[in-house]
Structure 1
Amino acid sequence: MASSSTVVPSDLEEEKAAAAAAVMDGGYGGVAGEEVERYLRADQIDFKSLDFEIEERMADRFRKLNSGGGGGGEHEHEHDDGPKAAWEIDLSKLEIGHVVEHGDHGTLFRGKYYGHDVAVKLLDWGEDGYSSEAQIAHFRTSLKEVVAVWHEFNHPNITKFIGASMGTTNLNIPENIPDHSSKKGARTALPERACCVVVEYLTGGTLKQHLIKQYRKNKKLSYREVVRLALGLARGLSFLHSKKIVHRDVKTENLLLDHQLNLKIADFGVARVVEAQDPKDLTGTTGTLAYMAPEVVAGKPYNRKCDVYSFGICLWETYCCDMPYRPYADLSFVDFSSAVIHQNLRPEIPDYCPSAMASIIQRCWDANPDVRPEMEEVVCLLEALDTSKGGSMVPEGKTKQPGGGCFCFFRPRAA
């Protein structure tokens, strides 16, 4: 909920009062037209439900304010080409705090929107200097298609979408903004033709960061915890695929954790919507090399099964708590790509890995996309695993893979 110091539009106060009344009246249990005189004891109020109801009503009101559907005058500065879409936000209400991370296609900030903590991803596909005008236009169009669907999602394993903007007018990035990223010194200036995506802020960091902490402690996650995290990712991907969305960049850096370490899929910057009535394969190399399916690396047409492959790599990484392909870090881009495509190169599954877990991993990263299971089936396979024993997955006397070194993701050198 917004704190007492948060400035909230006056009509939102009415929403808060209405929400409180709805919860105190028993929610959906009343009978239409029935007048009932009753007294309410304070110890009978479900304050947790009340908080949730108020938050939901306020969030709904924020969306209405930013869609032109209400709020009287909140959107007098509409785009020249017409009213704002339901998912577009008012950038003048967005406060940028500090840099969280610099990525391949933009910068992640922490900020506030109407006083609520949010994560702000500023996407700039032209920053690498390789994207053509046509490619940038294509990326922007694809992002519009994705957010038009994403803003309606309500799934526990998908980051909650607040809004987006296809431009950066009224976006204020303070000079000398604090940089808390691992790539300090990267540019933070406002890029041209950038897009802005705003989602809920999660305090648990990324799955990659979580695994790094475990690695530095010389520990692995318990088998039960690995399966729990994997189920979060599998359920999220299954949901996305059911909505005809291919993420295309599934990796542990794009998987966020909340304060209870529940996993949520994030970063839909290169995701694509594939219409059910006219499904079309995707082409072009998109994603991070170590997680890319062979057909993607080869530049061949691909579909949602590329996400299943990436899931297999993430599952191996979460189980082993180690870097994928670490022994091959010195390979060139060309040699590594060739090995993945032609020699079926994959991370080595430890011999002490339970056979059921190993089977899921191997099926997911099969070279043939048609052999890979649907994510819905992966969910069932994971749910069937026996995690009753718990504990560490490294048998007594066993250690992590030899070689040592820091936990960092394989980024092959250019050929």
Structure 2
Amino acid sequence: MQVIPFHQILSRGIYVGVPSATVVIIIGLVVILLRNKRRHKSLGSQNQSRTIESDNTHSNVILEGRHIYFKFPVFSYEELEEATNKFDQSRELGSGGFGTVYYGKLKDGREVAVKRLFERNSCVQQFMNEIKILTGLRHKNLVSLYGCTSRTSRELLLVYEYIPNGTLGCHLHGNLAKPGSLPWPLRMRIAIETAKALSYLHASGIIHRDVKSSNLLLDHHFCVKVADFGISRLFPMFVSHVSTAPAGSPGYLDPEYYQFCELTEKSDVYSFGVVLIELISSKPAIIVTKAKDKISLANMAVKKIQKRAFTEFVDPSLCFEFDDKVKEMIISVANLAFQCLQRDGELRPSMDKVVEFLQKIENGKDDYLKHLEFRDAGFLN
């Protein structure tokens, strides 16, 4: 009997009955099995990819999805673009080293400040750092983060509570400055609230690293909200310092940190000392003279304090020469600022001590600070 190859049977169109039908069925099953194998392999790759993405995601994110990122709600770029009227220039609130802040209003009616980081690739670290730092922080004198865009968004955006009354810098020597608008008791309260916020940060193992009057927001009641944690650092327990390249703002940067690249909590104390001098003098941290020369407010104030020449740098609107109680308080705060501005960080008080001293000054129990002598302070070269 001649055996006809199967491919010839198909090409000749020969009908072979039941045995041929069986062969066709077997071939069909093989094809189906091969297809299923490919499909399961493809699904396995996809599942493995999803698992890897999930693992990578959960290494950085607590509950990422549409709504949560590092415990903060996730906003889409489109809804924040709408909230800020496409980042209208007229809604610009201010600009810093890493981005511009815009006023916005969400669909739920909340007023917000949206920080739009300048360049996505160069600002990812600041974006992640600010979110990470603010996770778990709760203090009435720290600005609240409402949420952010995801890392895959076309732009990196941070959404904060809107603080409506500008910055301390604006009220002292900026576009909102008016003689008499910040009386001394109010300045004392601002100093104490700022000190408490920094003390809380230090107790939480965080160094702000950019304490300055333009990062101190004021609400309608002139209560302080410390802002901008883009370059803040976590400070490990039981270490004396963190070695890192100097970062901060001109006029506020701790000279010891600048010289040795060793960041400590006392670096914030130095910057706060500059803010105290701003509160006393209503002058900016860097004074530009008519001849375009730049003078450090801190250095100028230290020299005046050592000479006891307070009237030469105190804001005249504070009635320093006409109100003995105010005069005593200002001298005590100036003396405290002097201690904060020591070049040797170990000679500066902690922020806890600064809070304690400020509260004593406010209550008139600051005899130690009233009568400090500076002959042997060794501050100046």
Q: Do the two structures share a fold, i.e. TM-score over 0.5?
A: yes
Structure 2 residue 110 is matched with structure 1 residue 116: yes
1:147 counterpart letter in structure 2: I
1:307-318 correspondence to structure 2 within 5 Å: 307-318=268-279
Aligned to 1:351: 310
Give the whole-Å Cα distance in 1 for the aligned partners of 2:230 and 2:255: 21
Identity of aligned residues (%): 27
Aligned to 1:225: 186
Offset, 1:216: 5.2
> Relative to structure 1, is the Cα distance of residues 347 and 123 closer, same or farther in structure 2, using a 3 angstrom cutoff?
farther
Aligned to 2:356: 380
Aligned to 1:326: 287
Give the whole-Å Cα distance in 1 for the aligned partners of 2:219 and 2:124: 29
Aligned to 1:5: none
Q: Name the structure, 1 or 2, with higher relative contact order (CA <8 Å, separation 6+).
A: 1
Aligned to 1:150: 134
Structure 2 residue 144 is matched with structure 1 residue 160: yes
Give the whole-Å Cα distance in 2 for the aligned partners of 1:154 and 1:326: 35
Aligned to 1:87: 72
Structure 2 residue 84 is matched with structure 1 residue 96: yes
> Relative to structure 1, is the Cα distance of residues 365 and 220 closer, same or farther in structure 2, using a 3 angstrom cutoff?
farther
Q: Is the 8 A contact 2:171 2:177 kept in 1?
A: no
> Relative to structure 1, is the Cα distance of residues 332 and 196 closer, same or farther in structure 2, using a 3 angstrom cutoff?
farther
Give the whole-Å Cα distance in 2 for the aligned partners of 1:299 and 1:371: 16
Q: 1:291 aligns with which of 252, 256, 265?
A: 252
> Relative to structure 1, is the Cα distance of residues 383 and 345 closer, same or farther in structure 2, using a 3 angstrom cutoff?
closer
> Relative to structure 1, is the Cα distance of residues 282 and 220 closer, same or farther in structure 2, using a 3 angstrom cutoff?
farther
Please report the TM-score for the alignment, with normalisation by the length of structure 1.
0.58
Offset, 1:106: 1.1
Give the whole-Å Cα distance in 2 for the aligned partners of 1:90 and 1:67: 16
Aligned to 1:364: 340
The answer to which of 113-122 and 210-219 deviates more is 210-219
> Relative to structure 1, is the Cα distance of residues 214 and 385 closer, same or farther in structure 2, using a 3 angstrom cutoff?
farther
Q: Is the 8 A contact 2:129 2:230 kept in 1?
A: no
> Relative to structure 1, is the Cα distance of residues 165 and 218 closer, same or farther in structure 2, using a 3 angstrom cutoff?
same
Aligned to 1:239: 200
Aligned CA-pair RMSD: 3.4
> Relative to structure 1, is the Cα distance of residues 322 and 330 closer, same or farther in structure 2, using a 3 angstrom cutoff?
same
Q: Secondary structure at the match of 1:260?
A: coil
Offset, 1:329: 8.1
Aligned to 2:22: none
Give the whole-Å Cα distance in 2 for the aligned partners of 1:142 and 1:104: 10
> Relative to structure 1, is the Cα distance of residues 208 and 87 closer, same or farther in structure 2, using a 3 angstrom cutoff?
same
Choose between structure 1 and 2: higher helix proportion: 2
Unaligned segments of structure 2, at least 5 residues: 1-60, 86-90, 312-326, 365-381
Give the whole-Å Cα distance in 2 for the aligned partners of 1:275 and 1:84: 24
Aligned length: 275
Give the whole-Å Cα distance in 2 for the aligned partners of 1:159 and 1:329: 36
Q: Is the 8 A contact 2:129 2:229 kept in 1?
A: no
> Relative to structure 1, is the Cα distance of residues 84 and 204 closer, same or farther in structure 2, using a 3 angstrom cutoff?
closer
Q: Secondary structure at the match of 2:355?
A: helix
Offset, 1:87: 2.4
Give the whole-Å Cα distance in 1 for the aligned partners of 2:290 and 2:347: 28
Q: Is the 8 A contact 1:121 1:196 kept in 2?
A: yes
Offset, 1:158: 0.3
Unaligned segments of structure 1, at least 5 residues: 1-65, 127-132, 171-193, 389-415
Q: Is the 8 A contact 2:193 2:224 kept in 1?
A: yes
Q: Is the 8 A contact 2:188 2:362 kept in 1?
A: no
Aligned to 1:406: none
> Relative to structure 1, is the Cα distance of residues 299 and 142 closer, same or farther in structure 2, using a 3 angstrom cutoff?
farther
Q: Secondary structure at the match of 1:298?
A: helix
Offset, 1:278: 5.5
2:147 counterpart letter in structure 1: G
Q: Secondary structure at the match of 2:72?
A: coil
> Relative to structure 1, is the Cα distance of residues 143 and 329 closer, same or farther in structure 2, using a 3 angstrom cutoff?
farther
1:91-140 deviation digits (Å, cap 9, x = unpaired) = 244322422222222111111344311111122368xxxxxx8xx4xx64
Structure 2 residue 192 is matched with structure 1 residue 207: no
Offset, 1:67: 7.4
Offset, 1:304: 1.7
Offset, 1:233: 0.6
Offset, 1:88: 5.0
1:165-180 correspondence to structure 2 within 5 Å: 165=149, 167=151, 169=153
